[in-house]
């Protein structure tokens, strides 16, 4: 059962060939035997109680297409009854009194929660090595990183520990781990998915999205996940595009006439040959399917790294100031004053990468540096968005979607970049600009590179263009079998 897609599992559940309880038990047993460290909290009794509710809905004829399908949530979404840690010692034993909107929506659809997934602390990282609860291992090669920050999510799908998972993408944290683990993941347009109940990192960049085996599965999940939420001030209103829509509506459309923009900046120095070969082969397949390749330029791509690492840490500095040991979360045991309690609590509760970003963010927001760093980064962000606008939407638009690599290399070995954070930052060169522009982007598996580690193709679309992106990915997956490949022993 664990090798089947969400669509296939849904059909089995609706036909009563299997029950939600049987399905949940099957996945719980697999999780129990796994040594990947992908899950942080599993509660068999809670999961089976939800499965029983799903079986009752199916029996009563009130089920949705997702009722009874198991799902696991990145531990950045708060969940009632399960712990919500954000991968941090600061929230090691925190149990939220409410569900995040994303969790709430999937529960309303009747999905069954398997547990909470490991992630980089407060979603800060590119390898899932920054978790206070240990690194996640890549199912394709346990000596490799799974990518980050949604590494636990990607590893769980790749190892067939869950057919559906949630992730979040601030600068590439859905797309990059999806690429490293050989699965499919999509970051929707900023504001499409509610941030209410998502533990904040960078508020103008954080965006939740689904990860699964196939683009079709991601479309089904996005149907339940997206939509306006009045509790989230960054959620798109219906007038702005935050509407409930069917993201499967374009699946099945032919690709004849599709114009694919290929940015020269994505294929220059720094791109590994094995990754380029796999991506070029995928582009050739799209041409075979009727698409046309168009050479384009996104000239400010290189500036996305310094811009992102000014803006995101600044917002993190503000968002994480709430963790002070007073209201909830970790509090230092030893202190002699209120100020000392703050210092000791944060020194003990936050990991090295989180401290680094808080310090950078606080610095760039200081009087005298705000204009020189933060404001300038925001101006660069606008230039990056204009680059995309010119090729996708402007009067001289030349392409319908943009394609290129997700990351410059395949997954690196555990520990390789632990002492060099800048090297890890540079690995996000192809994903950061999409996030800064608020555009939808996704990753699909298109082959293997060095050490037989997966390679992902990034597909970037126009604002609100998720349905088209998902079909572009779906058509490729109908014509190839990379997405069906599983690690040895699965």
* Active site members: 74, 149, 173
Cα separation, 165 vs 200, in Å, equals 19
Strands 401-405 and 259-263: parallel
| Preceding amide of 190 cis, omega within 30 | no
Cα separation, 432 vs 427, in Å, equals 10
Cα separation, 146 vs 128, in Å, equals 7
For the record, the structure tokens of 489 come out as 């022993």
């Amino acid at each position: 059962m664990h090798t089947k897609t969400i669509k296939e599992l849904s059909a089995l559940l609706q036909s009563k060939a299997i029950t939600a309880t049987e399905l949940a038990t099957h996945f719980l047993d697999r999780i129990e035997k796994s040594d990947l460290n992908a899950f942080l909290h599993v509660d068999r009794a809670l999961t089976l109680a939800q499965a029983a509710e799903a079986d009752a809905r199916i029996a009563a004829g009130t089920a949705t297409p997702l009722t009874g399908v198991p799902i696991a949530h990145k531990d950045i979404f708060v969940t009632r009854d399960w712990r919500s840690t954000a991968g941090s010692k600061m929230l090691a034993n925190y149990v939220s009194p409410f569900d995040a909107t994303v969790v709430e929506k999937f529960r309303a659809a009747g999905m069954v929660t398997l547990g909470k997934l490991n992630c980089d602390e407060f979603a800060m990282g590119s390898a899932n090595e920054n978790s206070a609860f240990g690194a996640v291992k890549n199912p394709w090669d346990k000596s490799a990183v799974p990518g980050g920050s949604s590494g636990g999510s990607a590893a769980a799908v790749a190892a067939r520990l869950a057919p559906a998972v949630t992730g979040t993408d601030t600068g590439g944290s859905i797309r990059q781990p999806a690429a490293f683990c050989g699965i499919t993941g999509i970051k929707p347009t900023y504001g499409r998915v509610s941030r209410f109940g998502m533990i904040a990192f960078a508020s103008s960049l954080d965006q939740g999205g689904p990860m699964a085996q196939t683009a079709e599965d991601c479309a089904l999940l996005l149907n339940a996940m997206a939509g306006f939420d009045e509790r989230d001030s960054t959620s798109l209103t219906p007038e702005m595009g935050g509407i409930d829509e069917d993201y499967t509506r374009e699946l099945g459309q032919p690709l004849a006439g599709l114009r694919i923009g290929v940015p020269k900046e994505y294929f220059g120095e720094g791109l590994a040959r094995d990754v380029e070969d796999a991506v070029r082969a995928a582009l050739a397949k799209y041409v075979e399917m009727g698409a046309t390749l168009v050479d384009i330029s996104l000239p400010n791509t290189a500036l996305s790294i310094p811009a992102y690492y000014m803006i995101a840490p600044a917002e993190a500095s503000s968002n994480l100031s709430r963790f002070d040991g007073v209201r909830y979360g970790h509090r230092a045991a030893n202190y002699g004053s209120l100020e000392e309690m703050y210092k000791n609590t944060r020194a003990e509760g936050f990991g090295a990468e989180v401290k680094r970003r808080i310090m950078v963010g606080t610095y760039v927001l200081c009087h005298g540096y705000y204009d020189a760093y933060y404001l300038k980064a925001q101006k660069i962000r606008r230039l990056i968005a204009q680059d995309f606008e010119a090729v996708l939407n402007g009067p001289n638009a030349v392409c319908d979607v943009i394609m290129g690599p997700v990351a410059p290399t395949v997954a690196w070995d555990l520990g390789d970049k632990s002492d060099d954070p800048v090297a890890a930052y540079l690995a996000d060169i192809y994903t950061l600009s999409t996030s800064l522009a608020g555009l939808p982007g996704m990753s699909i598996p298109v082959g293997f590179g060095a050490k037989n580690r997966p390679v992902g193709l990034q597909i970037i679309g126009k604002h609100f263009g998720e349905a088209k992106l998902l079909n572009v990915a779906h058509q490729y997956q109908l014509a190839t079998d990379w997405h069906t490949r599983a690690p040895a022993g699965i």
